[in-house]
């Protein structure tokens, strides 16, 4: 709620609000959108508010004001501005949240069934950062007592093409010697990262190495990787050859939070 005494201040905010884009097809309607003004405002005043906080008349005035000043684009960072949604950079949704949830449940059940009889302790190792959402969903659905860890490898940086030379930035803490390691990836593209990581786990004494990737782009493969021991390959979906974001995957650290997977508009990275 915006306190009554803050109405004059709110009026000043409105005058200082930077313009926002007019077309935000994947965002909630303006009446449900939340506006962040924390760059100018400190407690006791709220640092963000929804149109509904302001009441219908003031909310309508705010919407009219914002849309009347709307340009075709607005800066992501820098000078104080109304929070801009990255979702307008998206072309289309490939897999919805529900479709992803259903598929993750299927894979988790399949893996659980397989590893119940593997006769070794299991370490599920997510490849940061992209796999963090998939990893969390997967291990919770597996419902088995597995060790969970992360490994950080960099091969793309802020580029859209792999440089073909993955490097470990942060190694696992879990001792994987004698364990069945399940490497969890958000996406396999050229195969460079996985090939490198499988060798790495083998060198650490893993008894078996499986791979579970949320997305697979088999058409882009340059390196054929070999699993270790009785390791298996699991994948959520075969991905078309386009730049995808969401469900952990990013473009320059944007869009990882999205609960669905979408195609990035080509003009955003070309
Ligand atoms: C992505 C992805 C894989 C790798 C796959 O990582 O998470 O680890 O690329 O590509 P490859 O099969 O061609 O090796 P990225 O470097 O983008 O880092 P991120 O996980 O932090 O987004």
Answer whether residue 241 is part of any domain: yes
| Ligand 1 atom, smallest distance to 154 CA | 16
CA 246 to centroid of ligand 1, rounded, Å: 13
Cβ-in-10-Å burial (0-12, 13-18, 19+) of 189 comes to buried
Question: What pLDDT, in 10s, does the model give residues 202-247?
Answer: 999 999 999 999 999 999 999 999 999 999 999 999 999 999 999 9
150 and 222 co-located in one domain: yes
Answer whether residue 254 is part of any domain: yes
Question: What pLDDT, in 10s, does the model give residues 54-106?
Answer: 554 554 554 444 444 444 444 444 443 445 677 788 999 999 999 999 999 99
Longest dimension (CA), the chain: 69
Mean pLDDT of 244-251: 96
Predicted TM-score (pTM) of the model is 0.71
249 and 175 co-located in one domain: yes
Q: Is the CB of 216 under 6 A from ligand 1?
A: no
Q: Is the CB of 188 under 6 A from ligand 1?
A: yes
Least confident of 36-45, 229-238, 261-270: 36-45
State the Cα–Cα distance between residues 78 and 205, nearest whole angstrom.
48
Answer whether residue 86 is part of any domain: no
pLDDT of residue 75: 41
147 and 259 co-located in one domain: yes
Instruction: Give the number of other Cβ atoms within 10 Å of residue 52's Cβ.
Output: 12
Answer whether residue 88 is part of any domain: no
**By residue range, what is the domain housing residue 63?**
4-15+23-77
28 and 104 co-located in one domain: no
Instruction: Say how far residue 42 (Cα) sits from the centre of its chain.
Output: 30
* Annotated catalytic residue within 89, 186, 189, 250: 189
Answer whether residue 53 is part of any domain: yes
157 and 51 co-located in one domain: no
Number of domains in the chain: 2
Catalytic, 171? Answer: no
Q: Percentage of residues in the chain with pLDDT exceeding 70?
A: 66
Q: Is the link from the previous residue into 44 a cis peptide, with omega within 30 of 0?
A: yes
> What's the token pair of residue 36?
């962040």
State the Cα–Cα distance between residues 126 and 243, nearest whole angstrom.
21
């Amino acid at each position: 709620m915006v306190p009554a005494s803050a109405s004059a201040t709110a009026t000043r905010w409105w005058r200082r609000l930077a313009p926002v884009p007019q077309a935000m097809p994947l965002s909630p309607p303006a009446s449900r959108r939340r506006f962040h003004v924390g760059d100018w405002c400190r407690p006791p005043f709220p640092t963000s508010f929804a149109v509904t906080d302001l009441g219908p008349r003031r909310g309508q005035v705010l919407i009219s004001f914002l849309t009347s000043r709307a340009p075709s684009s607005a800066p992501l960072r820098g000078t104080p501005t109304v929070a801009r949604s990255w979702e307008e950079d998206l072309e289309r949704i490939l897999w919805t949240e529900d479709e992803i949830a259903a598929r993750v449940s299927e894979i988790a059940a399949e893996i659980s069934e397989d590893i119940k009889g593997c006769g070794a302790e299991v370490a599920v190792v997510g490849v940061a950062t992209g796999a963090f959402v998939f990893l969390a969903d997967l291990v919770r659905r597996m419902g088995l007592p597995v060790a969970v860890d992360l490994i950080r490898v960099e091969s793309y940086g802020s580029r859209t093409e792999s440089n073909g030379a993955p490097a470990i930035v942060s190694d696992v803490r879990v001792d994987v010697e004698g364990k069945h390691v399940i490497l969890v990836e958000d996406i396999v593209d050229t195969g460079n990262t996985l090939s490198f990581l499988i060798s790495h786990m083998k060198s650490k004494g893993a008894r078996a190495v499986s791979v579970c990737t949320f997305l697979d782009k088999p058409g882009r493969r340059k390196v054929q990787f070999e699993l270790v021991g009785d390791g298996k390959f699991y994948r959520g979906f075969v991905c078309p050859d386009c730049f995808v974001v969401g469900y952990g995957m990013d473009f320059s650290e944007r869009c990882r939070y999205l609960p669905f997977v979408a195609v990035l508009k080509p003009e955003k990275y070309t």
